[in-house]
C-alpha cells in the first residue's frame, strides 16, 4: 500500500482529498494543527498527527523511515481580508514555515510533492480565461505568500518532482455529506450564500457592484470540491508513475457573477434572497476564470459536478446537515 503524507488533511479540501485517496487504496497520514481543521472530518482509516508544520523535531519523528511516496501540501491560511490586516502572519505561515517543512521533507527522502496554490496569484486580468503562463500580479498578501511558495518550488525544481495546482473558487461537499466546510468564520461565498438562503444568516453583503462585468458584481470560476479531489488523485498517480513537474489551473473555465449565484439560489429555494450591495474589498479581483485546456488535455479529465444548480443544492444540503447537528 503506497503511503501519502497530507498537510492540512483535517480541513475542508484536505478531508475530501484524503477520503478519496483512501477509497483508491492509499495509506494516508495527516499532519494538521487543527487551527481551522476538524477531527470530525478525518477519515477513520487515516493516521492523524496534531502538529504544526514548523515543529521540525516532531515532523522528523513522523516522516523518518516511513518511505512516503508523495507529499500533498495543503496547510495554510486562506482568508484574503485577514491577510491584508496581518500580512506578516500570512508570509510566515504560507511561505516561511512551508519552506522549512518542505526542506525537512526533502532531507528525509520525500521529493515528490503536490502544492496547493491559488488563482489569486494572477491578480486582475482583463481577459476571459486565464492560462497558466499568463503574467502574475498578486494584489493581496495571501496571493503573494502563495506565489512566493510557488517560486521556492520552481527555484528548487532539480530537487523536487512537483505539480503546482492553482485552485479557483472551491465549493460544495462530498455527495454523502461527510466532508464539507465547517469553518464558521469562512469567507467562502457559496457557504455564506447557502446560510442566507436557509435564513441562518441575515444577508449576503456583495462586495462591489461597479466592476466592469455584466452586472457590476465580481465574476468567479467555481469548482466542486469532489472534482478538485479527483484532480489530486490523478496528479498523485502521475507523479508516482514518474510524471514530469508541471503546473495546472483547477477550475471549470466558466464564470458566474455574484448576482448569478443569488438568482440561482432564488430559483432553487423559490424565495427572495436577502442581499445588500457593499463597497469593494481591498485586493479583490473583478473577473477571474480559468483556462483549463492544459489539464483536460494532459489527463483527459471531465468534471462530474460542473452544473451550478447541483453545486448550490449540494452546499445547501451540507449547511442543513450542520444546522441539525
* Residues designated catalytic: 142
* Rounded Cα–Cα distance for residues 301 and 253 (Å): 13
Ordered DSSP codes for 242-275: TPPPEEEEES-S--EEHHHHHHHHHHHH-S---E
Q: Tell me how long the chain is.
A: 325
Ordered DSSP codes for 65-82: T---SEEEE--S---HHH
* Rounded Cα–Cα distance for residues 261 and 257 (Å): 7
Grid cell, residue 149, equals: 511558495
Give the contacts of 1 (CB within 8 A, at least 6 positions apart): 25, 26, 27
Residue 157 CB coordination number (10 Å): 10
DSSP 281: P
Residue 276 CB coordination number (10 Å): 10
Grid cell, residue 144, equals: 503573494
Inter-residue contact 289 to 251 (CB < 8 Å): yes
Ordered DSSP codes for 157-191: TTT-EEEEEEE-EEE---TTS-S----TT---HHH
Nearest to 181 by CA among 323, 7, 15, 3: 15
Amino acid at each position: 500500500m503506497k503511503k501519502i503524507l497530507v498537510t492540512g488533511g483535517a480541513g475542508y479540501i484536505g478531508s475530501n482529498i484524503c477520503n478519496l485517496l483512501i477509497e483508491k487504496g492509499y495509506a494516508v497520514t495527516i499532519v494538521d494543527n487543527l487551527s481551522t481543521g476538524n477531527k470530525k472530518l478525518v477519515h477513520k482509516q487515516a493516521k492523524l498527527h496534531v502538529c504544526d508544520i514548523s515543529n521540525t523535531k516532531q515532523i522528523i519523528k513522523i516522516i523518518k523511515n516511513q518511505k512516503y511516496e508523495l507529499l500533498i501540501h495543503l496547510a495554510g491560511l486562506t482568508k484574503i481580508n485577514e491577510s491584508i490586516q496581518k500580512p506578516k502572519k500570512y508570509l510566515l505561515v504560507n511561505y516561511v514555515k512551508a519552506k522549512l517543512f518542505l526542506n525537512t521533507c526533502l532531507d528525509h527522502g520525500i521529493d515528490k510533492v503536490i502544492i496547493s496554490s491559488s488563482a489569486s496569484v494572477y491578480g486582475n486580468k482583463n481577459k476571459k480565461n486565464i492560462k497558466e503562463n499568463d503574467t502574475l500580479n498578486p494584489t493581496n498578501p495571501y496571493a503573494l505568500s502563495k506565489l512566493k511558495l510557488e517560486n521556492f518550488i520552481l527555484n528548487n525544481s532539480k530537487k523536487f518532482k512537483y505539480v503546482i495546482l492553482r485552485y479557483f473558487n472551491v465549493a460544495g461537499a462530498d455527495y454523502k455529506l461527510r466532508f464539507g466546510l465547517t469553518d464558521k468564520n469562512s469567507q467562502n461565498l457559496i457557504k455564506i450564500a447557502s446560510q442566507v438562503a436557509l435564513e441562518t444568516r441575515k444577508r449576503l453583503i456583495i462586495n462591489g457592484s461597479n466592476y466592469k462585468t455584466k452586472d457590476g458584481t465580481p465574476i468567479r470560476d467555481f469548482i466542486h470540491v469532489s472534482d478538485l479531489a479527483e484532480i489530486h488523485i490523478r496528479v498523485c498517480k502521475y507523479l508516482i508513475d514518474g510524471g514530469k513537474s508541471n503546473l495546472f489551473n483547477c477550475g471549470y473555465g466558466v464564470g458566474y457573477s455574484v448576482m448569478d449565484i443569488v438568482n440561482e439560489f432564488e430559483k432553487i429555494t423559490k424565495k427572495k434572497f436577502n442581499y445588500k450591495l457593499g463597497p469593494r474589498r481591498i485586493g479583490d479581483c473583478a473577473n477571474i476564470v480559468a483556462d483549463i485546456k492544459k489539464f483536460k488535455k494532459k489527463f483527459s479529465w471531465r468534471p462530474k459536478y460542473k452544473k451550478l444548480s447541483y453545486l448550490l443544492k449540494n452546499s445547501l444540503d451540507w449547511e442543513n446537515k450542520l444546522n441539525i447537528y
